[in-house]
Structure formats: C-alpha cells, structure tokens
A and B are shown apart, each in its own frame.
Chain A
Amino acid sequence: MALGRKAPGVRREQGGASQSEPLLQVRGLHVRFGNGVRAVDGIDFDVAPGETLAIVGESGCGKTTLGRAVTLLLRPTEGQVVFDGIDLTKLGQRKLRTARRDLQMIFQDPYASLDPRQRVGEIVGEPLRIAGMEAAARRKRVAKLLDMVGLGGDMAGRLPREFSGGQRQRIGIARALAADPRLVICDEPLSSLDVSIQAQIVNLLVKLQAELLLTYVFISHDFAVVRQIATRVAVMYLGRIVELAETERLFRAPGHPYTVSLLSAVPTLSCSKISDDQPQLLAGDPPSPARVPTGCRFHTRCWLRRQLGDPSICTSEDPALSGDGQQKTACHFSAELLAGNSEHRRLDVGTNG
C-alpha cells in the first residue's frame, strides 16, 4: 500500500529535486460564514519545504479558520490551496481523502483532540488503519511513533485520560506523524500547556522537524516560541496578513504598526531593555470580522495613523501586501515606520535562550 514506499528518505529526495518549488501555495483564500463574517479575507502565502511559517495574531483574527481552510476541513469560499502542485480545492471528496494524508494537523486542545474511548494505540494507529496497513505492521509503527515522541511503545494500551496535558499532546503529535506527512499544521499546540511543558513540546517539534524533514505551519500567539521556532512569520489581523517577514527581521524591525503593537505587548522580565521606547499598546477590541473597516482594516486602532495626523489614505485605500523577499507589509506608511525604527526600536523578546 502507499505507506510502504513512504520511507522518508526516499521521498524527500524526490522533493529535493524541486527545492525552489514551494510545498504549499495559498492564493486568494477567502472563508466567509453565513452570518457575513469574513474570517479569512484574501490571504496569499507560500511555504517552502523544510521551513516553519508562523502565523500570529490576536484571538479571533482567523488563524484557526485559516488552518482549517488550508487542510480543507472547512471549504474555502474562494481561492486556491496548492499542495505539492495539486490544487486541493478542486479535488472531489475521494481524491481529497488520499491527497491530504501528507498534510496533517496538531490540534490546540489535547483534551478534545483524542477520542476518550480509544486506546492510545488505536488513536495513533488510526490513520494507518484508514490507509489500509495491516494490524501487525501497524503495531510496530505505533510503538515506534510513541518512542519517537518520547512516550514509550508500551503506552499503547492506555486510555487518554491516564495522561497529562503534555503527554496527550505528544500522543496527538504521534498521531499526526503516523502517516508520515510532509506538512504539519500546528494549531496553537502549546496554548493549553504549562510553560515548562511548552518548552519540552517545542523541543520535540524542532527535533522531529530535523529528523523527518518536516515543514510546519505554526499557528500561535506566543512570540517567544515563534521567535525560537519560525523561519518566517505572518502577522494576521482581521482575516488578512498584514506583515510577512523573516523572523529576525520582523522582531528587529517590524514594518507594520500592528506588529509593533503586538511586540510591545509581549511581557518581558527586564523592562530596562525597552525603557527608551514608548510601548504602543492597542486600545479596545478588534472590529467585528462581519463589518471590516473601510480602507486599511487596522486604521480604527492604528497609533501610527494618529501620530501622522490621520492621513485620509488610511480610510480610503486598502493597502496591499508589498515589499521585498525578506519583508512584506500591508501599510501605506511602513517605509516611514521602518525609518523611525532603525534608530531606537529593539525589542528583545524570546531570546532567553
């Protein structure tokens, strides 16, 4: 069966031939709900093989919806999700079922993502069972997967309720990796875990990425973790990417006022580092995604617009995501912002090694 040929090394070599080709291309993705909510409102990005693209943003900005739309768990209203050269949105149910085995997801809540009535072995082995692997081979693979995530193969007979949150998340990871996927979408996999456990899981994810040559889309709101794990970061606001940049570039010189606000909202232990800096905290809640503001969608809360004396372009024209390969922003005044930044803004978050 298909799984037999899936010796990771073999297939990665195939992928290696087309190194420049992105593994995942998302084009003009829209997800609208019946009540007028535009949860994902026109998103484009590429994910290169082997990289980690982090997607950050406030609660309700559409991060999770984006993750589900990319995996086609939620049918996008518009747009394309091209995975390994195949547009998933064009596939019928049957073809989609096989095509997205290479595209797995680690879920946010390790208590809801494991069926309470299944044994760990059944949970982890289920993707293999669906793919048609027979029982004996499956047991072996399950034991190996559990070892790989640091649980030990003898845990297969236990029920999920016998495990702690961190261990459950490891089970979830083992399950996601069972069918040897190429792209793993991590949907806030750390947000319901203790900080000490978070570090372990991050290390596990990094280790697995190196061993299995995985590509991650890492949805999160934790900048410290993102800085540690991500190659590039996409900042989402109200269903749209407002900044997409290489990680260090984004942290050193954020090019969008929203990114600046997010970064300055990150609590740090040593206040002195940013003491020369005005924290640009955001006031109020984001507008409803059912009624997106005109022009730039961030203008209602934008501190830069206020500093610049309310230029009219902010309310009249929707800025496109533009810039060079290292940093793209959707702001009319990001050049001004970056010029100002270079003098004094240095935010040191997540570098506590």
Chain B
Amino acid sequence: MSAADADYRSANGIAARIRDVGPWIAQNPGLVGGVLFLTFVILLAILAPLLPHDAYRQNVLHRNELPSLEHWLGTDELGRDLLARIAVGARVSLVVAVASTIIAVAIGVMIGTIAAYLGGLVDSTIMRFVDSMYAFPETLFAILMAALVKGQLSGDGHGLLAPLVEAYRLSGGLLGVLLTLGLTGWLTTSRLVRAHVLSLKHAEYVLSCKLSGATHWFIIRTHLLPNTIPIILVAVTFVVPNAILLEAGLSFIGIGVDPPTPSWGTMIATGAQSIQSYPHLLICPALAIGLTLLSLTVIGDTLRDMFDPALAGTRRA
C-alpha cells in the first residue's frame, strides 16, 4: 500500500461507527457475553503466575478440598490449587488454539486460493485430495497423528529429527497436538476460501484489473485476498473451538499434553475418576471448556452473520 492509497482510507467513517455501538450491543447480547467471558479466560491465562498458588506445588495435607477462601476452586487429588491449574490449562488451550489455527488457516487459504485461481486440473486434483482427507474421521486422524508424533519424538533424537525432538521436549508435548491440528484443520478453510475465490475470480473488477496489465500475484493480493477476509474470519471461528476441543480430547485419552503440565482435557480425565466423591474436580474444568467453546461459537456465528448474510441462520456441522 502506497502513501496515496493510505490517504484515501483515513478519510471518514470511524466516528460514525463508534456512535452505532450502543444499539448494536443491545441486538447482540450473546456476542457481548461471549467476548466478556473469552476476555476473562485470556486474562486468566496471562495472569496465571500472579495467582496466590502455584499450579504445580503439591500439598498432601490438603487433598481434594472443596472450594474455600484459601483455595477458591478447591484442590485436586495431589493438593494442588484447582484455579491455578485451570489458569495454566487455559494457557495450554489458548496457545494450542491460536497456533494451530494460524497453521491451519494459512495452509487452507493458500491451498484454497491456488485451487480456485488456477482452476482446471490443479483445482480438481487438490479438491479430490481434500475430499479424501475428509473421508477420514477427524478424531481418528488426530489420534493416529498424535500417537505417531509422540512415538517418534519422545525418545532421543538424532539426525534430521533432532531439532523436532528438542522442540517437542520444550513444548511439553504440545508440538504433537499443534502439528496434528494444524495439518487436519485446513480442510474446511480451504473449501470455504476456494468457493469464495471462485466467485470473485470472474468479477468484472478482476477482469478490469487484468486488462490493466496486472500480474496474477497483484490480483490475488489486492483484490482476491482482501475480499476473502470475511470468509477467512469465519473459517477461524470454525477452527479455533475445534482445536480446543480436539486438544482436550487428545489430552483426555492421554496422548496430548504430557503431565504434569495441566490441560483441561487431563484435568477432566482425572476429575472423572472421582466424580462421586469430589465432583468439583470434574465440574470446574468442564465448565471452563464448555463456556469457552460456547463463547467462541456465539462470536463465530455472529461474525459470520455480519460478514456473510447469505449464510445467516445455517448451523455448522
């Protein structure tokens, strides 16, 4: 973007938009609630080290305590503070969600755009590949990948694998989950982006740009991608909750994040064992994950309705 173009952008509109915020909130209470809760979770994750208790310190004298003034959400089976562990778990969930979404959406946008823009044989080859990937149950695929990554990278690394093994150790088992999610999550994004770029590709303003002597890259950069941003945002709201859920699921069955790093999935798994005597050990992490997913879904639906009225009211699969 050059100076001239930047100048055209700052001309008007911001004040008017701020004025419209009030009634807009009243129309979208779910969105506001979702944003508030999500902000809370993010703050919790960022401020986790400032909480009064350490997530890893065990205290066998205070095992399985109910919520109290000292431990706001009680303690777990090893006497660790539950709130601190949920906060650190939020870090894991958010890091996994953000990182895997970036990987997945980047791959998805790239592949979707290439397929749609080039068309023909390239398009059909890519999209048949995506179709066949779809045929795999996603969870099964994630389990296979996670198990593979864990098996290959948890030992001693040598040769080409060495840096990967090191990265795996540093990430406390997160790497496997990340790779898995990043590599499976792009399918939906690529389909959405492809469909949208296909519809834009023959727009008259793209033809007119071609006529002015623009290169393919110029057209993609200045017309196709900017006009696909709403679709990309919608894709993000599909991928993020999915990533959080899959991470929790993988951790729940023991092939996700390695203990003692707390993850909402592992916490639910251990909490489930003592559900009859100490239900709060299950309820607290379950609520955390449930409400986070709900917030994300509501935000995603609202964004999608705003950006793409044609899709309004449809439910995601």
Contact = CB atoms under 8 A, between A and B. Distances in A.
A105 B213 contact: no
A103 B208 CA distance: 11
Interface residues of A, number: 44
B204 A130 contact: no
Contacts of A97: 213-215
A243 interface: no
Given A101-B213, A157-B12, A116 B227 contact: yes
Given A121-B5, A122-B5, A135-B4, A109 B213 contact: no
A107 B227 CA distance: 20
Interface of A: 68, 71, 73, 97-98, 100-101, 103-105, 107-109, 112-123, 125-127, 129-131, 135-136, 138-139, 142, 156-158, 172, 175-176, 178-179
B16 interface: no
Given A117-B226, A129-B5, 4 more contacts: A103-B211, A104-B211, A104-B212, A176-B208
Contact of A157 (B8, B211, B223): B8
A119 B210 contact: no
**Chain B CB within 10 Å — which of A73, A97, A115 has the most?**
A115
A122 B8 contact: yes
Contacts of B203: 112-113, 115
Contacts of B207: 68, 73, 105, 107
B12 to A, nearest CB: 7
Given A112-B203, A115-B205, A117-B226, A129 B211 contact: no
B9 interface: yes
A107 B8 contact: no
Contacts of B7: 121, 139, 157
A129 B204 contact: no
Contacts of B223: 115
Contacts of A176: 208
Contact of B211 (A105, A118, A142, A158): A105
B72 interface: no
Contact of A109 (B9, B204, B212): B204
Contact of A119 (B3, B9, B204): B9
A142 to B, nearest CB: 8
10 contacts: A98-B213, A103-B211, A104-B212, A107-B204, A113-B203, A115-B223, A117-B226, A120-B8, A157-B9, A157-B11
A158 B5 contact: no
A15 B204 CA distance: 30
B218 interface: yes
Nearest to B9: A119
In terms of DSSP, what is the predominant structure of the interface of chain A?
helix
A158 B11 contact: yes
B114 interface: no
A114 B213 contact: no
Given A116-B227, A136-B4, A179 B204 contact: no
B212 A179 contact: yes
A179 to B, nearest CB: 7
B2 interface: yes
B124 to A, nearest CB: 14
B192 interface: no
Interface string B1-34: 0111101110110000000000000000000000
A135 B8 contact: no
A39 to B, nearest CB: 15
Contacts of B107: none
Given A130-B213, A131-B213, A179-B212, A115 B227 contact: yes
Contacts of B9: 119, 157
Nearest to A137: B4
B269 to A, nearest CB: 47
B209 interface: yes
A129 B214 CA distance: 9
B219 to A, nearest CB: 10
Contacts of A129: 2, 5
A114 B208 CA distance: 9
A107 B210 CA distance: 13
A282 to B, nearest CB: 30
Contacts of B212: 101, 104, 126-127, 130-131, 178-179
A125 B4 contact: yes
B204 A121 contact: no
Contacts of A138: 4
A307 to B, nearest CB: 43
Contacts of A113: 203-205, 208
Contacts of A105: 207-208, 211
A127 B203 CA distance: 17
A156 B7 CA distance: 10
Nearest to B223: A115
Nearest to A157: B11
A161 to B, nearest CB: 11
A136 B8 CA distance: 13
B2 A135 contact: yes
A311 to B, nearest CB: 43
Given A97-B213, A115-B227, A135-B3, A121 B8 contact: yes
